[in-house]
Amino acid sequence: MATKERLGVVVSDKMDKTIVVAVENRFPHPVYKKTVSRTKRYKVHDETDRCHVGDRVLISETRPVSRHKTWTVAEIISSAKR
């Protein structure tokens, strides 16, 4: 079974070993056909605290790390300008 992966942007890095990643899903409205975007925020385990706000990251699903964390950072796609 393949693991789920998502691409998103880091919106918070204030917690220890945890980041919050916003993943945007775009789809056409079933009736009106206008493109609708929905955003979901995931708490992601970042063992080395290497991600910062604004980074684009690839996250992958894993076993539960804590009550709210079931995702880990797979790779940093692009780093934010600091």
The confidence score (pLDDT) of residue 1 equals 60
Sorted by sequence, the CB contacts under 8 Å of residue 20 that are 6+ apart come out as: 10, 11, 12, 13, 41, 42, 43, 44
What the chain holds in terms of domains, given with CATH numbers, is 5-78 (2.40.50.140)
SS3 at position 65:
coil
Consecutive 10-residue runs of the chain (82 residues): their mean pLDDT?
90 97 97 98 96 97 96 94 70
* pLDDT of amino acid 2: 72
State how far the alpha carbon of 57 is from the alpha carbons of 27, 30, 35, 43, in Å. Answer: 21, 30, 24, 13
The whole-angstrom separation of Cα 9 and Cα 55 is: 6
